Amino acid sequence: MDRLPIEEAIPTLRERLATGRSALLTAQPGAGKTTRVPLALLDEPWLAGQKVIMLEPRRLAARAAATYMAAHLGEPVGRTVGYRIRHESKVSPATRIEVVTEGILTRLLQQDPSLAGYGLVIFDEFHERSLQADLGLAFARESQRLFREDLRLLVMSATLDCAAVTALLSDATTISCEGRLFPVTTQYLDRPIEGHLEPAVVRSIRLALAKEPGSLLIFLPGMAEIRRVERQLRESQLGPDVIIAPLHGELPQAEQDQAIRPAPAGHRKIVLATSIAETSLTIEGVRVVIDAGLMRVPRFDPRTGLTRLDTIRVTQDAADQRRGRAGRLEPGTCYRLWSNAEHQALLPRRPPEILEADLAPLALDLAEWGVLDANELSWLNPPPAGALAQARDLLRQLGALDAQGTLTAHGRRLAHVTVHPRLAHMMVAAVPLGFGSWACDLAALLSERDILQGGPGWRNVDLRLRMETLHGNKEHLAGATINRTGRERVRRASEQWRRQLQLGAPSGDGIEHLGILLSFAYPDRVAQRLAGSDGRYRLANGRGAALQGQQGLSQEDYLVVAQLDGTGDWARILAAAPVRLQDLERYCAEQICSVDLLEWDDRSESVRARRQRRWGQLILEDRAAHEPDPTHVTAALLLGLRRAGLAALSWTKEQQQWRARIALLHRIDPTWPDLSDEALTKNLEQWLGPFLTGVTSLAQLRRLDLQAPLDSLLTWQQRQELPRLAPTHITVPSGSHVRLDYEQGESPVLAVRLQEMFGCQETPRIAGGRVPVMAHLLSPAGRPVQVTKDLASFWRSVYQDVKKELRGRYPRHHWPDDPLSAQPTNRTKRRT
């Protein structure tokens, strides 16, 4: 694939789009694709007066691209070229090119899947693979397939996996064009940065100012780092000819435009930017880039349901984009604040956002589109099944989806409020209660950056303070400053949502309702203070959360948490408001359920019957329950018995012998039941359960006679045969009834004085003659002198030796020479 200059690539692109429906344009930085391609395609016959819509991933880039194209035509923005971004629109009936941020395209397609009036959709900077870009492309492909065969799709990027996109677009034509980059010298550090980032950045800036001409563009991970570097630069007094210009998405448009414009004659500019300046922007006069090598990205954790901002190492493709900013207008230099070895270890590119993002907005968009199975659409990367299932569970909890996953009437209304479904639900649910305008304010506060900027050590998570500041009731805060630009942005966002919902300005005192409003949006983050703690809470989803430092909310019994740092065992609460239990019960009764519990209490060794009122995993009320279900009581009692073990029961000696008798018969005939501890424990419900009516504790269970439950394990026939097959006693030749001991081994033990067995030629047997007893022959003192299963052999070979030994020790006892013909006796002395 040859790389063409942009002048040659555009005619080729025109030709390919005239004959095909899709194309992929890869362009090196500096090619000018973002602004030159849309203008060049306007007069194509296949457009036939239809409009072009071009997606940009960022608001700043969308405004800048529209402004540049309008200036090229000598027109103001809003005529031939306009833009539409969140909370701001500059278009007119004359507009032919609309530059939009990505969510706008999704909304247009939902409103009209045929996208009538548009002939070309351009996905610019598609390599960033934002969630909305992937969704927009999937919907646009469906529009092509079902409604608009004539709709053209053009994907543009400087760094992209072309093969995957080409396959998705049904083998679309790929055109590659050269950029106009000037040579850029790249310098690495000898070793990684040690210590804080900001001092190293400031040192690099001072070095570059001394060595290099022109303005500087500094890439930093976020606003906090920008503010710290800006402060240190101003303290270092760089000179009156150096202009320091922050550039990030939260600045007013005028300040963003000022940062983008070239420095006045005789001045140099230091632009401190986030990754917002990576693509689609050319800042004239910049010939030096200093890249801190970090970027801040949102990451959703399906395990916790939380999205957190992570600071990660820049990827290689992003680093190349940043480097290219230095060579747009003249040769430049790029200082990378990492070593060459570190650079080789960087990831080639970031994973697509769809693999890491909160998918609740995507799930709502899919439901509105009518898709129950996400795999029905064509994706570069399909949404992960687990994260999508979790998102749909949340939407069901909010009432946006029914049990089958179909969009409800409430969900359709949420889909038309341009904000995260949680906040949309909060606003819509608040309207009939008269809190709608306050909910719009709260949604705006949560959607934009914090309007309070604290100094070192300042931390206040109370959203009531933000609401008071928003309404002008707080103009001076100790330890913090008010971001007045951010406050105006919040007010504009709230006003737009109020117009959507046909609401007036907030009236009355709505501050006290913030907690209950938050509970509409975050039912899973209602938090209950742990008993005896200050600032430690359990969330309704089961997670732990804590307030850091001195906080006025630390003693509140209940909070609703809007923002969390989800790392660690205890998430850090970043934004919350208190809520009263009675308000939760009044306004959110559907979230509260009553649960009857029968639990085993190890301490009291008894069943506790409780009735609890719960919000998720929070116990709002816990009290004793009366007349619990006997079946459930028995189940809980048996659970406790299993924990304690069968030894906790009061076994009599007779019952243990009874079990041993059955065990012997089971070994020789499996039709007899298994009464081992393991088997009895496994089958407690069958043999013991029916006898536990009214029993609720181990103490009561120990008073229970176990013989009837044990007997229930035998059939009627087995109960009749047991005394015959495994008798408790045997009648020996002396006429004595001697007890058998079944617990000492596999054979029952017959412990009997030797003299009582005179005349017994064979060992006694039980179990129908199948099992010989183990005879323990005792001396007159009751001590064993022989253990045998073979009496005949004993009389023949051992008795004479035993007789000699015992006759001397027990001379008054009877020791006949022929024991088989002697009279057995249970007497210990001869008769005189």
The helix/strand/coil state of 754 is: helix
What is the predicted pLDDT for the residue at 593?
Answer: 94
Nearest to 420 by CA among 476, 363, 367, 460: 363
Q: What are phi and psi of 715, to 5 degrees?
A: -75, 165
- Where do the H-state alpha helices sit in 150-277? 162-168, 197-211, 223-235, 253-260
In CATH, which of 3.40.50.300, 3.30.10.20, 3.40.50.10420, 3.30.70.270 is domain 3-177? 3.40.50.300
pLDDT of residue 179: 67
Q: What is the pLDDT of residue 832?
A: 39
Task: Give strand pairing partners of 37.
Answer: none
Rounded to a whole number of angstroms, the distance between the first and last alpha carbons of the chain is 128
Q: What is the pLDDT of residue 475?
A: 74
**Sheet containing strand 242-247, strands side by side:** 184-189, 332-339, 286-291, 215-219, 268-273, 242-247
The 3-state secondary structure of 472-528 reads CCCCCECCEEECHHHHHHHHHHHHHHHHHCCCCCCCCCCHHHHHHHHHHHCHHHEEE
The pLDDT assigned to 1 comes to: 46
Query: What is the pLDDT at residue 831?
Result: 44
Q: Residue 81 to residues 72, 99, 166, 208: CA-CA distances in angstroms?
A: 10, 8, 29, 38
pLDDT recorded at residue 418: 83
* CATH class of domain segment(s) 184-353: alpha beta
pLDDT for position 43: 87
pLDDT for position 568? 66
State the amino acid at position 767 in one-letter form: A
Model pLDDT, residue 765 = 94
What confidence score (pLDDT) does residue 566 get?
A: 67
Alpha-carbon span 488 to 88, nearest angstrom: 13
- Concatenated DSSP letters of 179-206: --PPPEEEEEESS---S-HHHHHHHHHH
- Identify the pLDDT of residue 598: 83
Q: Which residues of the chain have pLDDT under 50?
A: 1, 831-832
